[in-house]
Amino acid sequence: MSLSTSASILLASSISKELKTIAEKVFQNQRITFEEGVLLYEHGELGYLGTLANYVREKKNGNFVYFNRNFHIEPTNICVFDCKFCSYSRLLKQKEGTWEMSEDEILEKVKSYNGKPITEVHIVGGVHPKMGLMYFANLIKQIKDIRPDIHVKAFTAVELEYMCRKAKVSYEEGLRILKDHGQDSLPGGGAEIFDEVIRKQICEDKCTADEWLKIHETAHLLGMPSNATILYGHVESFEHRIDHMNRLRLLQDKTNGFNTFIPLKFRNKENQMSHIPEVSVIEDLRNYAISRIFLDNFGHIKAYWPMIGRNTAQLSLSFGVDDIDGTIDDSTKIYTMAGAEEQNPALSTQELVELIKQAKRIPIERDTLYNVITDYSKVDSSN
């Protein structure tokens, strides 16, 4: 046997020993370290990762898969920032391809859902230089006047940082104003990759990682829960993905204010990073699984089905995912413009329920805070 063959056998056996140690830790409900997270990315094969992630997923969420009935409002795609991965935003001075909804159009859209059992409106968009904190606070108040029952999940930390800076208020003051006007929680966008070097390469002019984390921490302290995302599969390394999740895990230890973690796969259509190939479905599934294993203090892992498509969303339910977002009603353009699987994302509740049942899981319609609205194991699905 040559020296290099025996060295690689030794290496392989030490890696398999480490993978065995990680498996033991997971089955004993112990937290894995940064280095172990990286090792999972480097050496964990799909079946092994799926087994571990499914163990964690079933311990936390049994056989349930959550979804909600929601729609999106994207008030504008005009944005002062220039994220290299963004296919959706346009500068104010650009004439083509921009949209700006008027206040009346936004309120009409909300009214169009009157009588429909929608529980959440998700409001995000470009960072428009002329739409400020008080404009949005009053908008939310009017939305709540129309639909007092609806949960308003609005504004990424990127939008909030800009609004607070322009209005010359602290994050706490800004968030308090929005909360008093009816905002209930924050979506998870704008996190991208926290590592400062990568952030500079892909979105250098928007809020920093520390600002993103501070805004979410402040929201949690004010009683506004939030989500967290990661944008993966571009120029980042496995270390950067684990570093990102580690910063979230530390904040969650402190506040317990995150509801769910949403891995977002980089899509490469018509943006400044279009030369970067997209990662495979196998890598998507590995990434969901490692997120589930690493983020031991997050209740839920969400697969955003309009982006990865309904087939991969179904598969992800065996790799740590317990939430597939909502009905959406064809109300978002962020992903369709970036080349997502679903070009007109809308699923009826019945279709979502069927999709989950086909994966042999129990569909649960939830509200934004994961209170159960309907447990479909107790409902005749022909209804």
Distances (CA, A) of 154 to 66, 73, 92, 337: 20, 9, 22, 21
Name the β-bridge partners of 323: 66, 302
| CA separation for the pair 170, 333 (Å, rounded) | 31
| CA separation for the pair 200, 149 (Å, rounded) | 41
Of 85, 113, 258, 370, the one binding ligand V47 by CB under 6 A: 85
Q: Applying CB under 6 A, which part among 171-179, 224-232, 347-355, 374-382 lies near ligand V47?
A: 224-232
CB of 189 to ligand V47, least distance (A): 2
| CA separation for the pair 2, 282 (Å, rounded) | 33
CB of 85 to ligand V47, least distance (A): 5
Give the E-state strand segments of 235-303 in sequence order: 258-265, 300-301
Q: Is 304 in the site for ligand V47 (CB under 6 A)?
A: yes
3-state DSSP assignment of residue 66: strand
Judged by CB, which is closer to ligand V47: 78, or 264? 264
Max Cα-Cα span within the chain? 77
3-state DSSP assignment of residue 217: helix
Helices 238-255, 209-221: axis angle to 10 degrees equals 20
Name the β-bridge partners of 200: none
Judged by CB, which is closer to ligand V47: 183, or 229? 229
CB of 128 to ligand SF4, least distance (A): 10
Contact between residue 156 and residue 186 where contact means Cβ atoms under 8 Å apart: yes
The option from ligand SF4, ligand V47, none interacting with 266 (CB < 5 to 8 A, set by class) reads ligand V47
Binding mask 43-82 for ligand V47 (x = CB under 6 A): ----------------------------------------
Write out the two tokens for 370: 């994961």
Binding mask 236-275 for ligand V47 (x = CB under 6 A): --------------------------x-x-xx---x----
The side-by-side arrangement of strands in the sheet containing 323-326 is 323-326, 64-68, 362-366, 372-375
Of 61, 119, 227, 318, the one binding ligand V47 by CB under 6 A: 227
The option from ligand V47, ligand SF4, none interacting with 345 (CB < 5 to 8 A, set by class) reads none
CB of 208 to ligand V47, least distance (A): 14
User: Residue numbers of the site for ligand SF4 (CB under 6 A)?
Assistant: 79, 81-83, 86, 88-89, 126-127, 158, 203, 206
CB of 295 to ligand V47, least distance (A): 15
Residue ranges binding ligand V47 (CB under 6 A):
85-87, 156, 187-190, 192, 227, 229, 231, 262, 264, 266-267, 271, 304, 325, 334, 338
